[in-house]
Chain A
């Protein structure tokens, strides 16, 4: 099986599995004062430092959660009734956490409109929350976070950034960017599922989502998922060392896109003109639903996805592509191929081969039907 769905979940790294297995065997509750508990505490604190290093934050700013979704919920629920501004291409967990938020538009390349942010914040007053993701999960488009943070802070806002997809793929500097809150997830960087973190700038006070035993400086109650946190720590340490290899993946992704476009000259690559994560391509084969494409890949043993892998399997047109100004039909034809470090040239060839077979097969059919029923041209693909 060729796995090209790293943005949904990256394979757990062997070093992570090893560290977690050891930890699971050791046991211990980090809040216990006996030696076994203290050893668990030390393991959690080491991981906290590792995660902080990846994020460019201080260890004491790291609050462990059950994942990116919880961290996003916590960030957006932490400030009472403050008005919230989010980009229209945020992850579902952000959009759902703030259903009444003002949605900031994006360009056709999927970049948040800075002018629109300025206008929206113009005379808002108070202490609004601005939440914009670092890099989009579907298109990989990287947002101008530094500028967003600067503009938002000028208007007195608290700035949250969902960096789930960017962490481990781009060098992130929480402090340098001047962010107030940032979300991370372990399983996107080869750590375990069920762990994430919210980075909370020192001095910022927010209301906890989960209340109880006072763990995580009172910001997140619940016995720490020690093995998961340790696995997260190991994954961040390894991911940090791999950021330099981004160029290599980028070259493969570019080669892939070039190959796919050679096969299907009418294919659309979304966000192509914007800075993107090096591993991600969001590409549409006109006239073929994303689902059909994904199934064709699956039959050939290649795992890719149509849009985000969240909403309990239901395939709906991506809100991200629609926000970029594409119609339901075009959005429904897009698939996401997200590569990993292990993806090699042969893999790129294999993806191309499946794509070619599918394209030729459907073109033949489209060719037949188009004579009879298809309109001459499709609008705005």
Chain B
């Protein structure tokens, strides 16, 4: 489907959900193809040349993953994705050191798989501190410092938030963790390839990485595990002893190769791409603000990854807006929870009013979005937000000067 609006061809729907998943970059797909076809083989079958060739490619890809975060390839282990990496890092470290330490520090706005792993540890008798965030979505470093005790084994704080895009001060957090002698894990599924990262400069001990959030394939991820000082963890998946015993299972060679290529492309393109995405995001934000009143940006306006714009369109319910702007593939909150009716726990942690939380839409701008698409998105939003507000009793009341807070609502 194409549309001639704005004088250019646009394929609809426009994909603006690059935090849920990114399209596979054609360069990545090209790198993967030989490993689906002529270069198939089990990379662990070292006794025949099929296996050797595949193993070499898998190791080269590991090197690319290491390079983009300033690590040594030996410190990178492959997993099935960031969810597994987060589960492995948190449960693995907690369980390995549980005889001496039984406390974890994390943040209320972490990804669900981090929070669920922590909750599971609590059931097993661990203590977990969930740090609050300020209204801008960032943690307070003094609160972090105070939360760490001599029983703390791990601090887990994400790099870029998946719902609102704010960037936590990783270097400062790393410094505090190193001073206090606790391990620092960071979920960088949304950060790798988008912001500069260096595990040594930032004193990061463990880092979760996703393939499909960086224009690589789904079903592959990585966990960086520092060797000096050595971080040890209890494996979740045992067996053949692959990945230094931390993660068994046949390595999916095409996926490993794809992830390596995705890291290579991201590293090379990052300077130019960051600038372009920032420009597109600013254009979208400005365009929306110019045309639609009462739109609120969630999360810190400065300390954020530009490609994630979480906006609350007051007085218009998010799901009905999603339905209206069906030419734009966007989401209300994170993909894993978007089918539920609950407003986002991330926005709630920021102290966003529930009614505003119900009106938020996440725009994820990525590598393949164009300026024409952003123009089209602005037009679409202006049209439909206007139409839905005309249909909204809340908008009507506000126009009449009614303070919505003064009304006794029938909560149901």
Contact = CB atoms under 8 A, between A and B. Distances in A.
Chains A and B in contact, CB within 8 Å: yes
Interface of A: 1, 3, 5, 8-9, 11-12, 14, 16-17, 20-21, 24-25, 27-29, 31-37, 65-70, 72-73, 91-97, 99, 187, 192-195, 209-215, 221-228, 291, 294-295, 297-298, 303-306, 308-313, 315
A209 B112 CA distance: 15
A309 B329 contact: no
A223 B212 contact: yes
A320 B214 CA distance: 42
Contact of B87 (A21, A25, A96, A212): A212
A35 B12 CA distance: 11
B364 to A, nearest CB: 10
B84 interface: yes
A98 B113 CA distance: 25
A310 B240 contact: yes
A31 B339 contact: yes
A353 to B, nearest CB: 17
Contacts of A310: 44, 239-242, 248, 250
A222 B245 CA distance: 22
B131 interface: no
Contact of A312 (B29, B47, B212, B242): B242
B261 interface: no
B24 A5 contact: no
B34 to A, nearest CB: 11
Contact of A66 (B80, B239, B241): B80
A187 B250 contact: yes
Contacts of B47: 291, 294-295, 298, 305-306, 313, 315
A213 B112 contact: yes
B120 interface: yes
Nearest to A291: B47
Nearest to A185: B250
B230 interface: no
A17 B81 contact: no
A291 to B, nearest CB: 7
B122 interface: no
Contacts of B330: 34
A12 B36 contact: yes
Contact of B117 (A17, A37, A211): A211
B240 to A, nearest CB: 3
A36 B329 contact: yes
A29 B111 contact: no
A221 B237 contact: no
Contact of A69 (B37, B86, B240): B240
A29 to B, nearest CB: 4
Contacts of B84: 66, 210, 222
B203 interface: no
B387 interface: no
B252 interface: yes
A101 to B, nearest CB: 12
Nearest to B83: A222
A33 B338 contact: yes
Interface in B206-255: 212, 217-220, 236-242, 248-255
B145 to A, nearest CB: 28
A99 B234 CA distance: 14
Contacts of A36: 13, 15, 17, 329
B77 to A, nearest CB: 12
B366 to A, nearest CB: 10
Interface in B17-50: 17, 20-24, 29, 32-33, 36-37, 40-42, 44-50
B45 A213 contact: no
Contacts of A16: 36
B33 A193 contact: no
A192 B328 CA distance: 32
A9 B13 contact: no
A102 to B, nearest CB: 17
Given A32-B335, A223-B83, A193 B241 contact: no
Given A9-B40, A27-B21, A225-B218, A212 B241 contact: no
Listed residue (B37, B48, B117) with the most chain A CB atoms within 10 angstroms of its CB? B48
Contacts of B255: 192-194, 225, 228
Contacts of A95: 239
Nearest to B215: A27
B116 interface: yes
A166 B21 CA distance: 34
A33 B239 contact: no
A311 B239 CA distance: 8
